[in-house]
Structure 1
Amino acid sequence: MELFYYMVFGALGTVVAALEFSKSNKDRVNTSAAFNSFKNNYLLVYSLMMAGDWLQGPYVYYLYTTYGFGKGEIGQLFIAGFGSSMLFGTIVGSLADKQGRKRACVTYCITYILSCITKHSPQYKVLMVGRILGGIATSLLFSAFESWLVAEHFKRGFDQQWLSLTFSKAIFLGNGLVAILSGLFGNLLVDTLSLGPVSPFDAAAIFLAIGMAVILSSWTENYGDSSESKDLLTQFKGAAVTIASDEKIALLGAIQSLFEGSMYTFVFLWTPALSPNDEEIPHGFIFATFMLASMLGSSIASRLLARNSTRVESYMQIIFVISSASLLLPILTNFLVTPSKVKGGGITFAGCLQVLGFCTFEACVGIFWPSIMKMRSQYIPEEARSTIMNFFRIPLNIFVCIVLYNVNAFPITFMFGMCSIFLFVASILQRRLAAIGDKPKTEDWAMLKERDAEDEPLNAP
């Protein structure tokens, strides 16, 4: 079956290269030298930040097992990370709007470096602190950097369409190329050089420190609502009112939670789905194949976003339907292909079919990230961007914690079916968003504040 992996990997690589080198003038956007310098600086920082994150992912579970912890204790550590992201991460992330997005990005670096340091200790309490710090850092990674980018982009007077270029390229590099290289580098440190499972965390800390130095030396500060009279609770209430009063923002939050919840569930399920009888599968190579599929998706997204005639709200309906269908494959193969009862061995024919489906899902993930970033830049008001984005992550983290806690209570086919349903619901909500989102408003926050001051009912236009 190794030939199968090489065929899939080679095919995806060929398509990605073809897409990148065959862009026509219609797919290209004329930009300025100032914007290109700004974009490249952000891409450098974002790639370093994602390298710090991707280096850790494949070795967290393995490191805990080398310290002698069982599945239950490791599950508690993972739940602590997602719970921390939901509780403390939301608060810290929301402070970015008031205290500054650049400071929040620096806080991400410091927090994640400290989390990496805790991995040197085999003590359960120390590792728990590390997971809590990691949860806070994750919230900052997926809110503070994007908030800084959007605010700085418009502050410098760049064209709105150019923002899509930065988004798509950031996903292509940070969630694709950097992920693949990080996996290979981590494998080099742990297996080839025999430096131990903690070495990728040390390497991650170094990349984060380098990124922090670039931020401190080249980024300027920007804020959301920096009003001195607003405390954190008032900020939370204002963000909640904005979400409840604007159907477009509420729909966007629901769509994001449904898709990301399914995506994180898929991360936990793909390994047991491909090796139900303890088959020997090349995890690293399959992971690299998934990341290459994600790069393919981001390349497709960059073409779609570069065209004024194509609306992101429209094509994302199709993407959600395709992603929903791709996660039905484990269920379909379970009915159509007679499952093997033989322990061990290589991947089965059903597993090969699922790999193709999972690659399709990962391509949808690659399209999703720059597309959701584009929609967030259109619909979420600048004054509370980080706060609202972290509100979106609350139901996501609750969902993932529930899945982790009950991962052994339901069969894998049930979990994939649930994710497929969620993705189909996301397509329905996306259709509604496309119908009402013809005229996106980014000034709704200011209008809501004026109405609040006049004690009028809060109804979004």
Structure 2
Amino acid sequence: MELFYYAVFGGLAAVVAAVELSKTNKDRINTSTAFNSFKNNYLVVYSLMMAGDWLQGPYVYYLYTTYGFGKGEIGQLFIAGFGSSMLFGTIVGSLADKQGRKRACVTYCITYILSCITKHSPQYKVLMLGRILGGIATSLLFSAFESWLVAEHFKRGFDQQWLSLTFSKAVFLGNGLVAIISGLFGNLLVDTFSLGPVSPFDAAACFLAIGMTIILSSWSENYGDASENKDLLTQFKGAAVAIASDEKIALLGAIQSLFEGSMYTFVFLWTPALSPNDEDIPHGFIFATFMLASMLGSSIASRLLSRNSPKVESYMQIVFIISSASLLLPILTSFLVTPTKVKRGGISFSGCLQLLGFCTFEACVGIFWPSIMKMRSQYVPEEARSTIMNFFRIPLNMFVCIVLYNVDAFPITVMFGMCSIFLFVASILQRRLSAIADKPKTEDWAMMKDKDAEGEPLNDM
């Protein structure tokens, strides 16, 4: 492995350690013992849930190839996962608001465990079923847990500012440290112990089962708008009205879709970008480096969120501009750096520059997650939180499906350029959100609830 990779990883590790150790009392939030107990319980569960997800990611494609499937069939399996999340996400989100967020979190565990079990079968139909189950589980992972946390946080009377502490720690652990450990543990199972590419999925199922046990034994139930017996269609209409009637919610949904769409596209693009001539690059080590950069971002976010200034709506404009610029590097290097023609050599100078830019983007991702969670807790109404959050994921999943279907149709520079434009648009929308953030919430959502309670049809609004 080239010294460059160690230098980047070591440099990021040193910066993360410096940021964490240099925190002063101004960067720390004084909390209560009850809140710390509540926060730690959630962080343990969330870390186990993310471990179950991260263990699978690096080996899905590889497992399918060992079963003899080609690129086209594997692409269809991936599309099925994102398509399932798009089609069923809003339904499961609404059920989470109606039937309870704790039940939805338990359903996530069961659904993802079943998805892991299907990986033992080489049958295409069984694997397709597993991808559909995985798509449903992903929708629950990114809506039900956050919805439960926010509702439970306020139900227990904790300070609103303390919520940002839980968000930043969850990203630091679940999307950073746990991701790195999961990658190393999966590598240990597959390569060192030679247990085969299905072993990480078995390990993921075990972690999910442990997390589910903790949820069942220590979590209380909470709901969305439990006072009204709404059917799913009424919930969909209510969520749509909330988005359409409050510009802040609509802007937040657009910003989230643009950023996450670019992020998931980047997941498919970074490998061919760094190895255009089949260079020998350490994928696992680079992935761990990206996760370390994400940890740095979440550590910076925790410091920003612990203060009243700058506001999250303001600094996220800068984050989106930086992320947009970082994904322009593959385009700039294609013009400014002479491409190498060496096949299967080490990483090129252009690749080194791009890797640094990609680490910058991952640091922006680390800032994005706790910050978007904070903004969602402020603007998304509690009554339909899970439903609205999964509404936001519909354009995201649609976009990713289109990209996957046409991944070979466009040059990689065009794809990066498209992502960069999306991120720049997100910065413009974030500027608009910042401008209207202090305006009072629209009364349309409350009016809609009142009309619904009185039995008036929602579509008369």
Q: Find the counterpart in structure 2 of residue 82 from structure 1.
A: 82
Residue 226 of structure 2 aligns to a residue in which SS?
coil
Residue 409 of structure 1 aligns to a residue in which SS?
coil
Contact 1:312 1:371 in 2 (8 A): yes
Cα displacement (A) at 1:308: 1.2
Describe the shift of the 1:235–1:217 C-alpha distance in structure 2 as closer, same or farther (beyond 3 A).
same
Worse-superposed segment, 12-21 or 322-331: 12-21
Contact 2:245 2:445 in 1 (8 A): no
Describe the shift of the 1:90–1:383 C-alpha distance in structure 2 as closer, same or farther (beyond 3 A).
same
- Could you report, residue by residue, the CA deviation over 1:118-174 in whole angstroms, capped at 9, with x for unpaired residues? 000000000000000000000000000000000000000000000000000000000
Contact 2:241 2:445 in 1 (8 A): no
- Could you report, residue by residue, the CA deviation over 1:338-379 in whole angstroms, capped at 9, with x for unpaired residues? 111221111100000000000000000000000000000000
Take 1:447 and 1:301, find their aligned partners in 2: how far apart are those partners?
Answer: 36
Contact 1:279 1:347 in 2 (8 A): yes
Worse-superposed segment, 99-108 or 451-460: 451-460
Cα displacement (A) at 1:22: 1.1
Take 1:231 and 1:10, find their aligned partners in 2: how far apart are those partners?
Answer: 53
- Could you report, residue by residue, the CA deviation over 1:96-118 in whole angstroms, capped at 9, with x for unpaired residues? 00000000000000000000000
Contact 2:96 2:223 in 1 (8 A): yes
Cα displacement (A) at 1:226: 2.0
Cα displacement (A) at 1:229: 3.2
- Could you report, residue by residue, the CA deviation over 1:413-447 in whole angstroms, capped at 9, with x for unpaired residues? 00000000000000000000000011464986334
Contact 2:246 2:441 in 1 (8 A): no
Unaligned runs of 5+ in 1: none
Residue 459 of structure 1 aligns to a residue in which SS?
helix
Q: Find the counterpart in structure 2 of residue 358 from structure 1.
A: 358
What percent of counterpart residues are identical?
Answer: 90
1:392-407 superposed matches below 5 A: 392-407=392-407
Cα displacement (A) at 1:21: 1.2
- Could you report, residue by residue, the CA deviation over 1:389-435 in whole angstroms, capped at 9, with x for unpaired residues? 00000000000000000000000000000000000000000000000
Say yes or no: does 1:287 pair with 2:283: no
Contact 1:245 1:458 in 2 (8 A): no
Take 1:312 and 1:456, find their aligned partners in 2: how far apart are those partners?
Answer: 38
Take 2:459 and 2:128, find their aligned partners in 1: how far apart are those partners?
Answer: 43
Take 1:45 and 1:113, find their aligned partners in 2: how far apart are those partners?
Answer: 15
Worse-superposed segment, 117-126 or 340-349: 340-349
Take 1:330 and 1:410, find their aligned partners in 2: how far apart are those partners?
Answer: 14
Describe the shift of the 1:61–1:386 C-alpha distance in structure 2 as closer, same or farther (beyond 3 A).
same
Take 1:358 and 1:42, find their aligned partners in 2: how far apart are those partners?
Answer: 30
Contact 1:245 1:460 in 2 (8 A): no
Residue 183 of structure 1 aligns to a residue in which SS?
helix
Take 2:326 and 2:460, find their aligned partners in 1: how far apart are those partners?
Answer: 36
Q: Find the counterpart in structure 2 of residue 445 from structure 1.
A: 445
Cα displacement (A) at 1:459: 13
Q: Find the counterpart in structure 2 of residue 342 from structure 1.
A: 342
Take 1:457 and 1:81, find their aligned partners in 2: how far apart are those partners?
Answer: 35
Contact 1:96 1:104 in 2 (8 A): yes
Residue 460 of structure 2 aligns to a residue in which SS?
coil
Contact 1:378 1:441 in 2 (8 A): no
Cα displacement (A) at 1:451: 5.4
Take 1:338 and 1:129, find their aligned partners in 2: how far apart are those partners?
Answer: 46
Describe the shift of the 1:26–1:430 C-alpha distance in structure 2 as closer, same or farther (beyond 3 A).
same
Cα displacement (A) at 1:221: 0.1
Take 2:107 and 2:9, find their aligned partners in 1: how far apart are those partners?
Answer: 37
Cα displacement (A) at 1:448: 3.0
Take 2:440 and 2:2, find their aligned partners in 1: how far apart are those partners?
Answer: 49
Take 1:414 and 1:272, find their aligned partners in 2: how far apart are those partners?
Answer: 13
Q: Find the counterpart in structure 2 of residue 377 from structure 1.
A: 377
Take 2:377 and 2:458, find their aligned partners in 1: how far apart are those partners?
Answer: 23
Q: Find the counterpart in structure 1 of residue 460 from structure 2.
A: 460
1:61-460 superposed matches below 5 A: 61-439=61-439, 441=441, 445-450=445-450
Cα displacement (A) at 1:460: 15
Contact 1:379 1:440 in 2 (8 A): no
Describe the shift of the 1:70–1:374 C-alpha distance in structure 2 as closer, same or farther (beyond 3 A).
same
Describe the shift of the 1:278–1:313 C-alpha distance in structure 2 as closer, same or farther (beyond 3 A).
same
Unaligned runs of 5+ in 2: none
Contact 2:176 2:291 in 1 (8 A): yes
Cα displacement (A) at 1:225: 1.2
Take 2:31 and 2:406, find their aligned partners in 1: how far apart are those partners?
Answer: 50
- Could you report, residue by residue, the CA deviation over 1:188-240 in whole angstroms, capped at 9, with x for unpaired residues? 00000000000000000000000000000000000001245310011001100
Take 1:161 and 1:281, find their aligned partners in 2: how far apart are those partners?
Answer: 42
Describe the shift of the 1:444–1:385 C-alpha distance in structure 2 as closer, same or farther (beyond 3 A).
farther
- Could you report, residue by residue, the CA deviation over 1:5-49 in whole angstroms, capped at 9, with x for unpaired residues? 111100100010111111111101110000000000000000000
Residue 23 of structure 2 aligns to a residue in which SS?
coil
Take 2:324 and 2:229, find their aligned partners in 1: how far apart are those partners?
Answer: 46
Q: Find the counterpart in structure 1 of residue 33 from structure 2.
A: 33
Cα displacement (A) at 1:280: 0.5
Take 1:382 and 1:405, find their aligned partners in 2: how far apart are those partners?
Answer: 36
Cα displacement (A) at 1:88: 1.5
Contact 1:378 1:440 in 2 (8 A): no
Worse-superposed segment, 441-450 or 8-17: 441-450
Take 1:455 and 1:45, find their aligned partners in 2: how far apart are those partners?
Answer: 40
Cα displacement (A) at 1:90: 2.0
Describe the shift of the 1:455–1:210 C-alpha distance in structure 2 as closer, same or farther (beyond 3 A).
closer
Worse-superposed segment, 298-307 or 332-341: 332-341
Describe the shift of the 1:440–1:277 C-alpha distance in structure 2 as closer, same or farther (beyond 3 A).
farther
Cα displacement (A) at 1:450: 2.4
Take 2:372 and 2:278, find their aligned partners in 1: how far apart are those partners?
Answer: 37
Contact 2:224 2:384 in 1 (8 A): yes
Q: How many residues align?
A: 461
Take 2:460 and 2:193, find their aligned partners in 1: how far apart are those partners?
Answer: 59
Contact 1:379 1:442 in 2 (8 A): no
Describe the shift of the 1:229–1:457 C-alpha distance in structure 2 as closer, same or farther (beyond 3 A).
closer
Cα displacement (A) at 1:92: 1.2
